[in-house]
Amino acid sequence: MKTSPVPRRQFLITAMAAGAGSIVQMPLFAQHEGDQLVQQIRAAAADATISVQSLRSGISVLIGSGGNIAVLSGPDGKLIVDSGIPGRHGQIEKALAGISAEPSRYLVNTHWHFDHTDGNQLLHATGATIVGHENTQKHMSRATRVQDWNFTFPPAPVAAQPTIVFASGHKLQINGTTVVLEHYQPAHTDSDISVRFEDADVLHVGDTWWNGVYPFIDYSTGGSIDGTIRAAEANIDAASANTIVIPGHGPVGDRSGLIEFHDMLATIRHRVHSLKKQGQSVDDVVAAKPTSMYDAKWGSLVPPSLFTRLVYAGV
């Protein structure tokens, strides 16, 4: 079921512009109509500060300009996961150069959304071959509308689109390690993939996990609450107690964080479904505050009212 644009929705621009990393406790909400949301997210990212966190086995994560960016560096060049929102001052390029001097070899997109792909053309120009799911390539190669943002994205430049495209899975060999790409069934979108650095036991799950933040679900391109829950279950199954897990937004975490996220989603889905089954309208359900027990932790960026509407649309 597709949802209509959320009326007078509040959405924290910084949540996507700055990756929802170090600003989780800052409730800086703003109201936006029409295409202002996307444009304001891009504007907010223009001067964002990027932090670099070293993980292990040559893997780092960049937080601060769009979705979280993972980097595997080594003698074969860099493998980069997602390209963020470049901004005005070359912050992403500077951060990458600060990790190592090796050139970019591969850029993997976890899905098609702009806060994960706006930097594609820039990184392609530095030598990166872009890799993504076939639905990422599809959405980026044509005009694609996200109804809840009331925004139609024009086709991306050819140089920004993936040229290594796969349907279910793909493997890359670089810097003496295997990087495994696996497609989820439709979840946050229909283009989501996970990226596993096998030897390091590091897993990037894109926007199938928003750590400490209610997730946005893009019904316009195949997402759903049920798919998001299934992806959370798949992530739990894929992670051990030692796995480092990189979310699309929020701080780097682990399997226990995935379990907490899943349980939050499942509980809210059950509550919203029960109220909808009783015949309550979406406004009635929002007024009933089915997310209330989670709002203090999860509701500081994506407002509870918006998340409730997104869940209602899919149950």
Asked if residue 127 has pLDDT above 60, the reply is yes
pLDDT digits 0-9 by tens, 135-154:
999 999 999 999 999 999 99
Other Cβ atoms closer than 10 A to 287:
13
What was the pLDDT predicted at 280? 97
All structural domains of the chain with their residue ranges: 13-313
- Phi then psi for residue 24, to 5 deg, are -60, -30
Q: Are 161 and 177 in contact (CB under 8 A)?
A: no
Instruction: Report the alpha-carbon distance of residue 74 to residue 174 in Å, rounded.
Output: 8
Mean pLDDT on 267-275:
98
CA atoms of 53 and 63, how far apart (whole Å): 8
Burial bucket for residue 237 (CB in 10 Å: 0-12, 13-18, 19+): exposed
pLDDT band at 35 (very low <50, low <70, confident <90, very high): low
Task: Report the alpha-carbon distance of residue 135 to residue 49 in Å, rounded.
Answer: 31
pLDDT tens-digit profile of 37-47? 888 888 888 78
CA–CA distance, 126 with 258 (Å, rounded to integer): 34
Q: Are strands 144-146 and 151-153 parallel, antiparallel or unpaired?
A: antiparallel
Q: Is 13-313 a domain of CATH 2.60.40.1220?
A: no
Ranking 28-32, 177-181, 237-241 by mean pLDDT, the lowest is: 28-32
Contact 269, 225 (CB under 8 A): yes
pLDDT value for 44: 82
